[in-house]
Structures are given as C-alpha cells and as structure tokens.
C-alpha cells in the first residue's frame, strides 16, 4: 500500500495543479484503493461538478465517496445538486460525505 501512502503525501504537500498530469491517469487504476485516492487528489484540484458526476458512475463506493468529498467547499448550484443527489446513494460513506457539507 505504499502507492496509496505516496498519494496521501502528495495530496498534503502539493496543493496546486502541477501534478495532475502525473496523477490524473491513476483515477482509472485497476486497484480500487489507488483509484479512490487519485480521485480525491484530482477532484480537490479540479473541483468541477461535471468531473465529479462522471466519477459517481463508478461501482466502487470509495471512489464515489472521495469524489463527493472533493466537492467540499465548492459553492455552486451544480455542486449542491450533486451533493443532494448523493444523499440517496446506497453507500453510507457517500451519503455521509454529501451531508457533511450541509452541516456547516
């Protein structure tokens, strides 16, 4: 699991977009843990509701939950709509991540 730890370190130390070309392809990695970490990394940097909506079609709940978490702080009607829609997801973490925003 060194790969996921490396993504955590990159996420904490690099807040810009310069690593997107390096990490972006990992969103589609066959390992779901790596894919989920990469989704959070990329999603935090692009903060694009359309990109997030595409990630919500993934079957892995970790990927969907991290895509939702990446929208935290985005103040737009599109982001609010996605978060509201995710409150009905079949996974508790996706639901929790979507509702957490509305408690602030």
CATH topology of domain 2-103: 1.25.10
With a cut of 60, say whether residue 5 has pLDDT above it: yes
89: Cβ contacts below 8 Å, ≥ 6 apart: 61, 64, 95, 98
Average pLDDT, the chain: 90
With a cut of 60, say whether residue 13 has pLDDT above it: yes
41-80 per-position pLDDT tens digit: 999 999 999 999 999 999 999 999 999 999 999 999 999 9
37 HSE (CA, 13 A, CB side): 19
- The pTM score is 0.86
- State residue 30's pLDDT score: 94
Please state the rounded mean pLDDT for residues 19-31.
89
């Amino acid at each position: 699991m060194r790969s996921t730890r490396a993504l955590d370190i990159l996420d904490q130390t690099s807040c810009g977009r310069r690593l997107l070309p390096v990490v972006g392809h990992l969103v589609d990695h066959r390992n779901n843990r790596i894919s989920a970490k990469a989704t959070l990394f990329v999603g935090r940097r692009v903060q694009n509701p359309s990109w997030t909506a595409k990630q919500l079609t993934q079957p892995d709940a970790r990927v969907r939950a991290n895509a939702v978490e990446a929208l935290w702080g985005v103040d737009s009607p599109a982001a609010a709509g996605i978060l509201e829609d995710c409150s009905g997801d079949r996974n508790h973490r996706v639901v929790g991540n979507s509702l957490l925003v509305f408690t602030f």
